[in-house]
Structures are given as C-alpha cells and as structure tokens.
Amino acid sequence: MMADFLLNLLASFAYDLLKALPSRFQGQQEDLLRDLRTELARQTQALEALNAVLARLGVERVVRIEGSVSNSIIITGDGNAVTVADGGNLARQWEALQLDDAQARERYYQEIAAIYEKLTFPLYGLDFSTALEEVYLYPSFHRLRRGLRISATWREGDPVPSVDELLQNPRPVAVLGMLGDGKTTTLQYLTWLYARRPSDRLHWRLGELVPFLLTASDLAEHWQDETDLVTACSRAASQFYHHPLLNPYLVERVLRTALEQGVALILVDALDEYQPAKAQERQKKFVIALSQRWQSDPLRQNSLLLSSRYALQEIGETGAEVLAYHLGKVLLRQQETDAERIDQMLEDLMHLVTAPKMRSFLTPFYVTLLTVSICREPDFATGLARAGDIKQWAGLYRFFLRQTFRWEQDKSGSAVEEKAALLALAHVAWQTFAPKTPELSLDLPLPFSERDREEALTFWKRTGLIWRNEITGTWTFAHAGFKTFGVALWLKEAVQRGRLAEVERLQTATMALEEWDMIWTLYYGL
Amino acid sequence: MSESFSDDKIFLLESFARHLPPAGIEREQYLDKLAHLLAQVIPNTDPRLKDLALTLIRITLFSLQEGFMLGGFQGISGSRYFSRSLPLDAQVALEKRLTVLARLPAARKEILSWALKALNGELATLLGQGLNLWGHLVVAAFDWMLGLSRRDQNPQYEFGLTLLHLLAKEEGKLWPEELDALIALSTQWVRDLPSFPEYEIRDLFRCLHKVRLSPEQGELLASLLQEWEDTDRYPSERSFATLAEYKRAMRHLGRIEGRGKFFIAVASVLIAILGHFRPSIPPIHTPKIHHDIRYGTLAIGWAMLTKSDARYLPDLLRVLRSLAEINHAEFRLVLEEIFPVFWEQPTGLKPLVELLVEEGFQRFDDFWESRIEALRPSFSRQALQIWLEQVRHKPQAHWLRQVLEGVYTLKVNAAEWLAKQVACEENPQVMELVLKITQRLANRDHNLIVQLESALWERMRLSIERGEMLSSEWARWLAGARLEFLRRGLDLLCQYAEEDEPDDIRSYAYALLSALAREVNRLERTEPLRLAVCWLVDPADGLRSNLPLPKCLQLVGDMMQQTHVDEKVIGWLRRAIVRTPNVEDLVQTLHAGGYYVVNEKGIERLNAIIQAPDAEKFAQVLRVAGCPEWRLVKAHPRLVSVFFKPLDTEGDLRAGAHRRIALARALKYVSNPELFFPLLRDLFELAVDLASAWSVDGDAPGAFPEFSREADELAKELLQAVASLPVTPPVVNLLREMVLAPSRIPQQGLSRTFSPDFIWSTILPLMVRREVDAEAIPPMLAILQEPLPPTGERHQLVQQCILQWLSNVSILDATQQEIIWQSGYTSPDILTRSLALLVLGRQRPLSTRTWQTVLGLLNTSWIVHYIRRTLEIARMRDFFLEPNDVFLLLGTAVALSAEWAREKEALSAEQFQALHRAWRRASSDVHRLIEGLLSQPGILSIRVNYARGLARNLCDAVGKSPYDDPDWLTRPADLARSLLQRFSLTKGDGYERSGIPSTDRRPAPLL
C-alpha cells in the first residue's frame, strides 16, 4: 500500500518536474507511472527507479531526500521541497539506497543486532531490559521421535549436536521443541549472534554468515503474492509476526548478495503456527515447496534453519539451573551491587528451581517466569518465599501476571483495575482460542464498555504480553501459555456468572482432549 | 478463592468422577487426569475433596499392591540408589499417579500408613482380608508348572519400600510425623526381631537418601545411630527370656519375610511340640563380621544425615575409619555407595583423602570407575574448588582425578568459575583435568561449556603466541573441538609454520601439529573431513602429500570453508591405506631388525621390486636375509607396506594402524556413500588380509598379534559403517561378504569379531531407517532364498540383516512378500521370524494374511503360544533355545499393530476396533501375570541383545525411547495395555473418535 502510494506520489512529482524542465519526455503522467512500474519490476526499489528514470530522461541528478524524526523531505534542484509526514522512513530508505554492498550489509548487521539483542519475551516493555546474550540457554538438540531429523548422519548415542553442527549441515535443518522450549529464542539468538559477531565467541563461520530471521506465516503470506522466493523472504525478514522492523529494500539487497555468495543463514520460525485453511495439507505443501526451492542454485549453498513444535524434550534440572543463574544474575545486578550477596541469592535461586517440588516447572518458559517474578520483587527473600509456595501452574501465572500488572501500573500510572484488566485478557484468550467445541458457547458480554476493554488491552500491550496486528486489528499472545491461562480465567468467569452447567458439559465433552488438559489443570488451580 | 467457586470446582470434580469409564485402560487414564486435577486444589480442606482423594489413593495403592503381589512389578530393596531396569508401563503409571497425589496431605498420610503396614507384613490387617489368595495360588501354580524357583523378594516388603521411596522423592523432605513413624518402625524392628535388622535399616536409609532433613530431624536420627553403635546393648543376635518371647519374635520375622499365616502357625506348633527353644539365634557370622556389618549400616546412615548437614561429617568419618580398620572389603563397598556425600559436602574430602592415603588406596579399577560414573558426580563451585585443591596437593591420589574425569555435570557457577580459573591455572594435572571435563561435558550440555571452551581457546591462543609448550591433551582437545576452533587454531599455527619464521617457532608449531595429527586418531567420534585436515597438517607428512607444510595449511583452510567432503578429500584419506611400500622406510626397518644389510645395489633391487611388485622375488630376498616376514610377503603381497612398519610407541599396533582404524570409524558418519564405498571396501580387504596373515603365518600361527588386533578393530568399525549406509546392491553384497568372511578366513578369523551378539546388539539397530534403493531389493530377496548350509549360523545372521534392511521398505509385491513369508516367517529362529513379521507388516497395502497373522497372535492365549513354542523346541532338539523367546514375536506383533493404528490409512474403522479388542485380550491380567513371572531376573531371561534391533525399529510407534532397555518388546501384554491408553482417545470404537464418550456407555461412578 505504502509502495503504491509512494509510487503515485513520486510519479506525480516527477511528471510535474519533467514538464517544468526542458526534457525529452513527451508522454502523459500514466506513461511515466508505467515506466516507473516497469523499472520497479526490474529493480524493486522505488527510489532507485525514480532516479534511473530521471537520469534516462536526461534530467540531471537533482533529487535528494532528507529526513527528520517526523518527516521525509524531498528536495528538488530548484529548491522546491515536498514534505512527507512518514516519520522519516522515506529518507532512511533513500539513504540505504545510496550505500554500496558492503555498507548495506554493515547497516543491516547493525540494525538487526539492535533489534534482537534484547530478550523480548516475556520481558518486553518492562523497565529493565535484559540482554539476550547474557541469558541465552543453548537448547539440547535431541533425536526426534518422529518427523524430521537433525542430520542424516547423526545416530543415537552420538554426542548431542551443538548449534554449530546444525549450521554446518548442508541440508535444511528443523529445530523442534515443545511450548516454551526456546525455539524462537534460539533463532533470535542466532540472528543476534551472527549480526553482532562478538569477538569473544567462536561459532561456525561467524563473521561470514548473514542471518535473516522470519516467521513461516510471514513468508507464506508474501510468497503467495510473489513468485520470487527471495523477494518473499526479504519482505518476511523485514518484519516479525507482521510487525515491520526493517527496510525491506535494504533486506532484499543484502539477502540477494548473501545468497549469491552462499553466506545467507535463513532462520524460519514457527512452522507450526502457520495455520492456513486446510492447514495440514497446505502446511505440508509449503514445506515441500520450500524444500524443493532450496535445492536450486544459488539457495542450496546457503543455510536454512526451521523451527516448529512437537518434539518431546525437557529442559532438565541442569538447564533450569543454568537459565535461572544467568537470567537471575542479569536481573539482580540491576538492583544489588554486593557481589557476594548476589552469589548467595543466585545459590538460593538455583536451589529453588531445582527443588523436587518445582519439578513440574522445568521448561525454559516457566523457569523464566519464576526467575523474573522472584528477582523483580522489591525484596528478593520475599520473592523467593512466595515462589517457593507456588505449587500449581496457575499459581505461577497468577503471581507473574499480578506482578506485571503492578509493575506496569506503577510505571504508567494507569487507572485500569486489575480485575478488569485480567478479564479483558481472558476475553481475548477465549476469543482467539482455536479448539472450541462449536455447540457450547460461553461468549459472555464483558461487564464494561468497549473503551474500557480497549484501554485494558492497550495496558497489557505495553507489557509485551499481547500484540495487535495493526492491519487486521487482531490480538496475539506473546506466548501460548498466557492464552491458555486466559481461557482458564474465562471459564472461571463463566462459572461465577452462573454458567456452571455449560462448563460442566464442556468438561465432559473435552475430558479426552489433550489440548484441554492444561486448561482444566489451570482452571482447578485458580 | 471464594467459597462458592470452591464449591463449583468440587461439583465439577465430582462430575468428572461420575463420568469415568466403567473399566479398562480408559478408566486408568481418566483416574490419572483426576489425580492431576485434584492435586491442583491443594489448599482446600473440604471433606468432600478429602473423600475423593482418599478413594482415588486407595484405588491406586491397591492396584500397585496387586502388581507387586501378582508378579512383574519391580522392587528396590538392596539396590544402591535404586537404579532399576525399565519397570512395566503399568507400574510407572501407578507410581506417577501416586507421586501426584502425594501432594495432598490426606493422600500422603494414607500412603505412609500403607507403607508401614506393608513393611511390617501387616497389609492384610489393614485391608481386613487375605491378600488375593487366588492370585497367590495362580503364581504358585505357574512356578510349579514352569519349574521356576520362588522369587527372593518379598512383594509386600518391596511394595512398602516403594511407597516410602515415592514419598521421599516427591517433596525432597519428610514431614515430622513421617520421620517419627519411621523411627518407631525401626525401633520396633530392633526391639522385636530375633536379630538386629541391618539390611532392613539400610533399605530405609537408602529410601531417604534424597531427603533433606531439618536440624531437629537430623538430631533425632543421629541419637538413634549413636545408640545403635553400642553393640553390647544392641547385639547382632538377641537372647530370649521366654519361649513366648522367642515365638513372638519369629512370628514377626516371618511376617516381614512374607511367610504367611499358615507357615508361621506351623512353625509355632513345631517349636512348641519339639521344645526347640533356643535362648538365642545361632550365629551365622563371626562376631567380627557382625561388627563390620553394623559399621557399614551406620556409615550409610551417617552419610544420609551428612547430606543434609555437614556437622555429621566427623561421625561419618569416624565410622568409616573404624570400618576401614576392621574390614577393607566392606569399607570399599560402603565407600562406593556413599561417595556422593563428598561432592555434596566437600569439606569432608580432605580427611577422606588422608584416610585413603593411609589405606594405600590410589586408584579405582575399571569396575569401580564405572560404578562411580553411575553415581553421576555433580560438582558445585565449592566442591570443585576443594577437589581441585586436593588434586594439586595429593598428586598420588589418582582416584580424585578419576572421579573428576567421570563428572556428569557441573553446577553453572562451578563451570563459570572453572572458565575463569583456566586463564591462571599453573598445575598441569589440573589443566589436563579441565580439558577432559570440557570434552566430556561438550557431549552433554553446551550451556555449561560455552565459556569454558572460549577460555580454553584464549589460553591456547596465548600459549601459542608465547611459544609455551602444550601437552598432547591440548592437541586432543583442539582436534575434537568444534570445527570452528580447529579452523581458527590452524589459521594461527599457519603463521608460525611459515618458512621464514625462526626455527624454534617453527619447531614449536610443528610439534603441536604432529600432536594434532596423532591425537585425532584417538577421538571416539570424528568425521572424515576432520581426519583429512589433521593428517594433512602433520609435519611428518604421514600421508605423503609431498607438499610443503604452509601449502598444506592453506589447503586445509580451503577444505574447511566447505563442510562437505569431495573427491579431493577422499583422495587424501585414501593415502592412509596406501599399499605401495616406501623403500626408505623398508630399508630402515630392515636395518633396525638387523636382518639385512642393504647396500646401494640392494636398494636398487628393492626399488625394482616395488615398482613392479613381484611377491615371489621379494620374499626370496627376505628369505635369504633371514627375515621372518618372507612367508607373509609371499602369501599376502598387498600387505608389504604394513609388514614392514615398526610397532607404534605403545607397542600394540603397527605404525599407521591407528590412522586406518580412525578412518574406518569415521566412515560411520559419511553423508555421501558413493564417494566412500571404494575406501570402505579397500579397508575391509586389508582387514581380511591382516586376519588371514595372523591366522596362518607359516610356521608360527598367531605370531603377530598386532595384525589380529588391527583386523578386529577395523572389521568392527567397517561393518558398522556398512550398516549405516543407504542400501544399494554393492552395499548388500559387501555386507554379505563381510558377515560370511569368517568362513573363508583360515582358523575362522574374525568370527569372534562378527559374533552373533555383535550383529544383534550393534549392527541390526544401525540398519533401522536406512534408505533402500529399489534395485537392492532383488539381490536381498535372492540372498533370503539361498539354501542354508547345515551349519548355517552365519548365513542366518546375513538373513537377519537383510530382513532388518527390508523393514525399511513398504513396496514389496505379493511374490516378494511370499518369499519373506517362506524364508523368514517359517524359520524356527524366533528373531528371524519376528523380523519377517515386521517386514510383512510394513508393506502397504497390508495383506490379509499379515493382518490375520498378527490378529491371530494377539488373540491366542500366551499359554498356548508358550506350549507351542516348547513343543517346537523339543522337536528341534535344540537345548539352548528357551520357549519364552516367543514373547519377542508377540511383542513385535503388538508394536507393529501400534504402527498400523498410528496410520490413518492403514486400517478401516472395523479393523481398528478388532485391533482394539485384540489389545484388550492381549493385555489381560493373566497375560501380564505370566510375563511378570517369566521376566523375573535370572529366570529364563530372553537375551537382551536379541531384541535390540527390533526394539530400535519399533520404539517410535509405542512411544519408547531408543535408549530404553529393549526389554519392553518382550512384554507384549504390558505393551498392549499401554497402547490401549495411547490410542483410546484419538481413534477407535465410537468412544474415542470424537473424544466425547458415546451415550451407550454407562458412566461408572468412582465412589
């Protein structure tokens, strides 16, 4: 949309310019637009196209674009200027186009490293920021019980392959894991690592490979409208879960060069969350198409890493301990300066997360929630004691959400009430929860206005717990665990509003369904 | 939580309980869910909830108790740290449910009361009835019929211990009343039993080894231990004042040992009639041994206490010291068991080291080493610091290093500290340990070693830059580290190996590169590319590249840019097995052996012979010179280059052998079989030549044992490599040739290497999920049709391999399936038959005959199968076969049917229902009982390795791990039970399809 708008704007602007200047151009404005489109198809870069057309038509290089925080200003040779209130986007794109390949790649590295250097979930938007690099937990890549394998040559009993070995694999590799196992974080970490290229790390071809992180759904969406996989990849890599992050032209330019050199590292996340209509069949086709396309030049010289759910894996006590230690250390250092005291706190923290009674919380997600909840309490000992009292999953979610609520409220001074905020969250969870039985409806009206709902959701959005697709307006949970908890909250709400009979019927109907097990577990823990 | 919401939850839980299926595995599964849900409502004290929980816990306890009584469920007494082989699925499920329920106070109390009664042999009193008399009778009948001896373990006692173990494990602590009850129990045992209950008390301590006791609890137990140390007051054997007291004690003992009322009654009558009253029990052991056993028991008790609190360390060490003085053997046994105390409470390490130094203990033998490894040593930062300190100060205590080398994991702060320590560590022994720990952890957890690896790399880089000597351990670490480290390391050394560098710098780089080329051969796992790279940079130019070293370094730099292996890399690897002898080496060797004084003319002659190989002439020259190898040269001219290599520094193989073995090992990890196949064949021919040369060595058979050693190693690795390749006609032929090779080598060479056990345990599992070329199918079927020679054991092994490969295809036509049927399924060998069934069951569409065969197997009673197999064995007059091997076939049938159930297209709805019914029949209590009886340790156990390949092949379908002990495949009834659970909710007979119970089923209330 933006591209079309810009194209029309520029065509109109160029037409006026050409007419005003002594040039060879004799056509109509539509002709110029057609010319521009043709040029675009070849070069895909609107601003370069404009420059090229102007140059071809004998106009001296008279256009430059400058930017500010709020605007882009197109300045012609005669001193006239067009101001576009786009937050300086156009100017940044223009600047990117002036770079040579090496500069473009360096720019891309810087931008991508800045984007992914923070542990974005579930701490995104909170006051303290955590460097992903400091807390990242390398996953254990076990042999999968079914489905894709790590590599053709890997055998049971062999050492567990490292991230390096995955990247060395000449074939596309899938990273599978359960909810909260850290698949997305792994891909984000690799993106950051290969973009930042820290000097104290040694990883496979670090400094050579160029990372591109995208989601399967973004890629599929762009690939539908675009025959060229590279363009589709670029567009997908310039956003994450539909959120624009980067200049797509810069990404495409860097990607094309990297692919030609055989140094592109494409990281496709959340294959399982790509849920088209006729999901299974189309998902399979998508994977096959991607795989086939990957066999052709120049793609096959590059690395492809995919992530999806389904494999069975537990983080284990050691993993939990490592994660709690690193994350805890980062968080505690922001509040405490006494190194010995920090060491003692960390000992206590590790002891808690590996205690037998916390056995059911051994996933990266739960360990993260526990650690954050403990460390951001004003008094560490209180946090530890409270966390130690948690016996059910629901308790952990409740602890974390309440704390997040207080945190955000103190920060923003919002007037949203906790009960209303939680209810709005539960409502969104219920609405977006897919496996519902159609015959049982628990769609209850909210006891507050739409405006209040919107305010509550915006409140949660600021905490990073939910996101909104600006185009479709739909809400997405940052982690499926929160959605599940939201559904359980909604069931509680339904029971309290006298819908016990319906909930009982729902329980009977879903007794056998695995996807409901966690919801009921959370419900009974409320 | 509001009261009304709490009521609503209880209402919903009761509703859940009302909708439970009436019986069967579905009911069990719903009970598991109910337990989970109940455990979520913990703070609630509503009596309705308590009733629900108690009912559920009693149902579960009763089922578990029944499992122990009727056989099959595994106990834990006497086992250190309770390592068990894989328990039955049914047992695992029940124990898991109990663990979940143990979070509820009422349930926990109930579990404890059952445990105490069971440990005292009073469960019948608790239940108010005899314990499944019919069950006991059935068990006895089977024992009699099958000629089995009664099991050693007392099921009631085992049940009690298991419950205690679960309680201790759940929270990692004991509630005060629980410890009180246990102390009361042990005091009662000590007071009432005829002899001091040493082993029963040890069992109690072992149950609690993961529990952390509070200080008060610790003191309570400590006073008891101190009391028991007084052997005058608590002698091993008691005296009795009266007959009644004696009878009471014996009755109690009888109950604990599970003797039953009848036995005890008869014994009492006999004692009364015969007046056989003894004031004390006749001593079984000498007083000294009693003393040792007591100290052993106390040491285990103090160790358990010390884990909770370091202040009990002096007591532990005191008891250990006493034990060491009186009985070294018992001391070592106890020490092995309590070792974890010294990494959990490391402050006690120093006195222990001193004690062991006094005892003259320096190192563990291999057996001990593996036992210590099984304890999974895990070190905190403090523990690691103390242990390394002791390594520095007591270098003679080699056992410290052995424990540290066997480390299972480090606490994260320990790994972090170690990474910092690397920069400044000066002690070479400690550095060597750090390298070994890093290598060990690299295979397990990358998170722990990321910093450590970086620190090691930094230290190595600085050492290289400063020209500090690095031990071969460093070279081994670099050779096996991630490729990126090797790449950077070689980049660095490349600069120092330049021609224009000073000699000392160059020689330094050369020394490290030589070590790299040597150490890469010792790695357990390595890829061909890594081998080629490390060999190429060998300054001694072992590959005879004739390239200057800087050029080689440049070459490997390019090779490492691309990770895939091409013809060029193969070319370099091939040089490791080059057959052309080098005249210079030959002359040197001959000189060294003093056999032949080679002058210029002699060299010319040798050169001529080597240029145009003529074994006869060469042998003649050697014969004249008196060199004993002349016969070998004549018989095996291709081995000339090996014969004249000197022995390596360790003296067990010829120089170059390690390289060849490493290459054979690396071939297991190739991704491009076409490229490597010729290499593989060449190496195998070499192995056969070596084995033959060793087997018949002219006048002195077996005179060169190093040939045999190399041949064995090569052959083992190569067969594994072949089994790992995609299956093509040449691969099939090579495998056949290899397995049959012992029959063409003199003296059956390689027959022990390619033993049936090796093929079953190692080769068959490797053949699972290999890609099979359609062109390879006809030659494989042709092999199956070959008539078996009278002593056809090796041919049968080939057939088993072929069938395992064929299980990877699903496209065999009717004629081909008929061949499998005739050549495989009709075999009297049960593994061949099971493999054939697997192959047939993998074909699509499924043939009616296969379907009916599997269904027939599942629907027929296990007794009938067993008797049929017994008769079959009797007909064959094979005294080595055991009739319970039929369970392997039945297990294969069950697991195969699970694969069908997983595939939506494989079965119609009616077929699925029939299968479900067959699973129900197969998983009947009687079948589970029979399996339980026959799987008792030591009783007709099926050879574990026999099932390994099949288990690896079928594990996915039944949700088992490839790492699981393959025993599960020989428990078809338990397997069928787990399938009912696994498949009931997703697919099936109306109940499962929608996930909603169908209306025609009457829900059965729980209460």
Q: Given a cut of 90, is residue B763 above it in pLDDT? A: yes
Predicted pLDDT at A437: 66
Q: B671–A152: do the CB atoms touch at under 8 Å?
A: yes
Encoding tokens for residue B210? 């993961």
> pLDDT (tens digit, 9 = 90+) per residue, B455-471?
999 999 999 888 888 88
* Mutation for B interface: A142, A165, A202, A354, most B CBs within 10 A: A202
Mean pLDDT of B193-216: 86
Q: Given a cut of 60, is residue B176 above it in pLDDT? A: yes
Q: Given a cut of 60, is residue B278 above it in pLDDT? A: no
Q: A495–B992: do the CB atoms touch at under 8 Å?
A: no
Determine the straight-line distance between the first and last CA of chain A, rounded to whole angstroms: 46
Q: How far is B268 from chain A (nearest CA, A)?
A: 47
Amino acid at B387: W
Q: Flag the least confident range among A366-375, B209-218, B686-695, B935-944.
A: B935-944
CB B21 within 8 A of CB B71: no
Q: What is the pLDDT confidence band of residue A141, given thresholds at 50, 70 and 90?
A: very low
Q: What is the pLDDT confidence band of residue A171, given thresholds at 50, 70 and 90?
A: low
Q: A503–B1: do the CB atoms touch at under 8 Å?
A: no
CA dist B619 and A323 (Å) reads 68
Encoding tokens for residue A494? 């339904």
Residue A300 CB neighbour total at 10 angstroms? 14
Helix (H, G, I), strand (E, B) or coil at A514: helix
Is A340 an 8 Å CB contact of chain B?
no
Which residue in B has a C-alpha nearest to residue A395's C-alpha? B40
DSSP β-ladder status, B378-379 and B409-410: parallel
Nearest to B766 by CA among B805, B712, B731: B805
* A345 φ/ψ sector (left φ>0, alpha ψ -120 to 50, else beta): alpha
Range with top average pLDDT, A98-102, A281-285, B307-311, B696-700:
B307-311
Q: Which residues of A touch B411 (CB under 8 A)?
A: 321, 350
Q: How many beta-carbon pairs below 8 A join chains A and B? A: 157
Encoding tokens for residue A72? 């882009």
CA dist A154 and A148 (Å) reads 12
Q: Given a cut of 80, is residue B72 above it in pLDDT? A: no
What b/e sequence results for A128-161 when a residue is b if at least 16 CB atoms lie within 10 Å of its CB, and e otherwise? eebebbebbbbbbbbbbbeebebbeebbeebbbb
Nearest to A324 by CA among A377, A381, A362: A362
Against a cut of 0.90, is the pTM above it?
no
Is A152 an 8 Å CB contact of chain B?
yes
Q: How far is B510 from chain A (nearest CA, A)?
A: 24
Mean pLDDT of A123-141: 48
Q: How far is A461 from chain B (nearest CA, A)?
A: 27
Q: Flag the least confident range among A270-284, B5-19, B603-617.
A: A270-284
CA dist B742 and B758 (Å) reads 14
CB B933 within 8 A of CB B926: no
Q: Which residues of A touch B12 (CB under 8 A)?
A: 500, 503-504, 507
Mean pLDDT of A147-176: 54
Encoding tokens for residue B783? 């092999």
Which of B37, B103, B482 lies at the smallest CB-CB distance from A162?
Answer: B482
CA dist B676 and B682 (Å) reads 10
Q: What is the pLDDT confidence band of residue B1000, given thresholds at 50, 70 and 90?
A: very low
Q: How far is B744 from chain A (nearest CA, A)?
A: 32
Predicted pLDDT at A74: 75
Predicted pLDDT at A18: 67
Mean pLDDT of B347-359: 89
Is B169 an 8 Å CB contact of chain A?
yes
Q: Which residues of A touch B952 (CB under 8 A)?
A: 156
Is A521 an 8 Å CB contact of chain B?
yes
> pLDDT (tens digit, 9 = 90+) per residue, A414-442?
888 999 999 999 999 998 887 666 666 78
> pLDDT (tens digit, 9 = 90+) per residue, B488-512?
899 888 888 777 777 778 888 889 9
Length of chain A: 526
Q: How far is A126 from chain B (nearest CA, A)?
A: 26
Is B171 an 8 Å CB contact of chain A?
yes
Element (H, E) at B410: strand B409-410
Interhelix angle A418-432/A480-496, rounded to 10 degrees, is 110
Q: What is the pLDDT confidence band of residue A150, given thresholds at 50, 70 and 90?
A: very low
Q: Given a cut of 50, is residue B880 above it in pLDDT? A: yes
> pLDDT (tens digit, 9 = 90+) per residue, B285-319?
555 666 778 888 899 899 989 988 999 999 999 99
Across A292-440, the runs of DSSP E, i.e. the strands, are: 303-308
Which of A163, A356, A520 lies at the smallest CB-CB distance from B171?
Answer: A356
Helix (H, G, I), strand (E, B) or coil at A267: strand
Q: A524–B457: do the CB atoms touch at under 8 Å?
A: no
> pLDDT (tens digit, 9 = 90+) per residue, B97-130?
999 999 888 999 999 999 999 998 888 766 655 4
User: Which residue has better confidence, B463 or A20?
Assistant: B463
What b/e sequence results for A163-176 when a residue is b if at least 16 CB atoms lie within 10 Å of its CB, and e otherwise? bbbbbbbeebbbbb
Q: What is the pLDDT confidence band of residue B810, given thresholds at 50, 70 and 90?
A: very high
**Prediction ipTM score:** 0.71
Is B1004 an 8 Å CB contact of chain A?
no
Q: Which residues of B touch A321 (CB under 8 A)?
A: 411-412
By the 10 Å C-beta count (0-12 exposed, 13-18 middle, 19+ buried), B599 is classed as exposed
Helix (H, G, I), strand (E, B) or coil at B804: helix
Q: Which residues of A touch B956 (CB under 8 A)?
A: 145-146
Q: What is the pLDDT confidence band of residue A10, given thresholds at 50, 70 and 90?
A: low
